[in-house]
Structure 1
Amino acid sequence: MLRLDRVSAGYGRAQVLRDLSLEVKAGEILCLLGRNGAGKSTTMRAIMGLLPLMSGTIWLGERSLSALPAHEVPRAGVGYVPQGRRLFADLTVAQNLEIGLMARQSGPEVREQVLTLFPRLRDRLGQKAQTLSGGEQQMLAMARALCLRPEVLLLDEPTEGLQPSMIAAIREVITALRAEGVAVLLVEQRVDAVLEVADRVAFLENGQGGAVMSAEALRADRGLVDRYVGV
């Protein structure tokens, strides 16, 4: 389980997160919703140790992630697919996957499992990442993160700019990971897409935690979407 306990963080003197508490259980998809600038991506970066905390603690089970340097957080079992993917563009698909495997010394069986989830990548192992379509690049970013054998997977806008067939393929993988017990924290602006896969939804407003509710309850009361996400 991933747990944020009264976390405050920001950029220099600019505080973005204010006493944010949040938890994602094993085998659960929790979606983080909020307006632009609410602190969603900042939350992801804070979890990964890419931002120093001003206060609070981030836990993975009984282990404090906030006590680790940033390069140790993936080794602890946290996979991260940032907005914009951040692949090694000049490296091949196979080389990008190899970098993911190295982080936790994963074996070839993990690579095979990942390619089974993303069969499209198997046919493109020798291609450079920059030659892939946008959807294929997103698949590669997710596949690289899964090479860590993560207990927790952070996904920041994974369907942004993708065609419906690619969105459907990524959604299938996310739900398969949930079935395997992976905790998934998902930032997504497409509310309708979120409600199809999420178990719970947590709202962020001005860097502070808002309502947390089941996706089923949100489908029954869309007013909260307008309150926290509407313009």
Structure 2
Amino acid sequence: MLELSEINVAYGRAQILRDLSLTVNAGEILCLLGRNGAGKTTTMKAIMGLLPLMSGRITLDGQTISELPAHKVAGTGIGYIPQGRRLFADLTVAQNLEIGLMVRNSGGAVRDGVLDLFPRLRERLHQRAETLSGGEQQMLATARALCLEPRVLLLDEPTEGLQPSMIEAIRQVIVVMRDRGVAILLVEQRIDAILSVADRVAFIENGRNLETLPADALRADHAILERHLGV
């Protein structure tokens, strides 16, 4: 279980997160929803140790990780697929995956299992990442994170700019990982994508908690989305 307890985060003098608390359980998908600038990406970066906490605490299965340097957070079992993918463009698909494997000293069996989820990447192992299509790059970014054998997976706008077939491929992998017991925190703007995978939805505004609801409540009453997001 990943737990954020009343965390406060700032960029310089501008405070972004204010006493934000979230819990993501093993085997569930929690979608983080809010308007632009609400603090969604900042939350992801704080979990990964890329932004220091002013106060509060982040734990993974009871272990405090908010005191760890950023390069050690991934080693605890948290995979992060940032917005924009952040691949090593000049490296091949295989080399990008190898970097993911190195974080936790995973071997070929892990790589083969990941490639089973993304057969298209198996056909492109020796192709440079920069030559892949946008959807294939998203697949590679996701596959690299899965090479960590994560207990928690953070995805920031994974379907942005993708065609429907690629969106469905990413969605299926997210559901598979949830069913394998991975705790998934998803930032996504596509309401249809959220409603197709989410177990719970947490709304934030100006870096503060609004409410957290079962996704079924949103499926039954779209007025909730209009109240919080204006959509």
Per the shorter chain, which TM-score range?
over 0.9
| Residue matched to 2:160 | 160
Matched, 1:101 2:140: no
2:2: which partner in 1?
2
Give the SS at the match of 2:54: strand
Q: Deviation of residue 95 (structure 1)? A: 0.2
Does residue 68 of structure 1 match 2:68?
A: yes
User: What secondary structure is seen at the aligned counterpart in 2 of 1:66?
Assistant: coil
Matched, 1:143 2:107: no
Q: What is the letter of the counterpart of residue 98 of structure 2? A: E
How far 1:222 moved relative to its partner? 1.2
Equivalent residue pairs, number? 231
Name the amino acid aligned to 1:205. Answer: E
SS in 2 for 1:71: helix
- Aligned residue runs from structure 1 range 40-55, under 5 A: 40-55=40-55
Structure 1: segments with no counterpart, 5+ residues: none
Could you say which residue in structure 2 is the equivalent of 1:190? Answer: 190
CA distance in 1, matches of 2:199, 2:67: 29
Amino acid at match of 1:155: L
Please report how far the alpha carbon of residue 62 of structure 1 lies from its aligned counterpart in structure 2 after TM superposition: 1.2
The residue aligned with 2:181 is: 181
Q: Distance in 2 between matches of 1:123 and 1:160?
A: 24
Q: What are the superposed Cα offsets for residues 193-218 of structure 1, whole Å, 9 maximum, x if unpaired?
A: 10010000000111001110011011
The answer for the alignment partner of 2:222 in structure 1 is: 222
Deviation at 1:226, TM superposition (A): 1.3
Could you tell me how far apart the structure 2 residues matched to 1:101 and 1:230 are? 42
Alpha-carbon separation, structure 1, partners of 2:20 and 2:223? 23
Q: Distance in 1 between matches of 2:191 and 2:2?
A: 23
Question: Residue 62 of structure 1 aligns to which amino acid in structure 2?
Answer: G
1:28 and 2:28 equivalent?
yes
Structure 1 Cα separation of the partners of residues 214 and 142 of structure 2: 25
Partner of 1:39: 39
Could you tell me how far apart the structure 2 residues matched to 1:162 and 1:117 are? 18
Deviation at 1:87, TM superposition (A): 0.2
For 1:10 and 1:145, how far apart are their aligned partners in 2? 26
Shift of 1:173: 0.3
Aligned partners of 2:70 and 2:206: how far apart in 1? 25
Q: Report the identity percentage.
A: 71
Equivalent residue letter for 1:114: V
How far apart are 1:176 and its partner, in Å? 0.3
Deviations 1:104-142 (A, max 9, x none): 000110000000000000000000000000000000000
CA distance in structure 2 between the aligned counterparts of 1:49 and 1:229, rounded to whole angstroms: 28
Cα RMSD over matched residues?
0.7
- CA offsets per residue over residues 3-54 of structure 1, 9 Å max, x none? 0000010211110000000000000000000000000000000000000101
Distance 1:83 1:194 in 2: 16
Distance 1:135 1:218 in 2: 28
Deviation (angstroms), 1:82: 0.2
Could you list the structure 1 runs, at least 4 aligned residues long, displaced by more than 6 angstroms after superposition. Answer: none
Alpha-carbon distance between aligned partners in 1 of 2:86 and 2:171, rounded to the nearest angstrom: 20
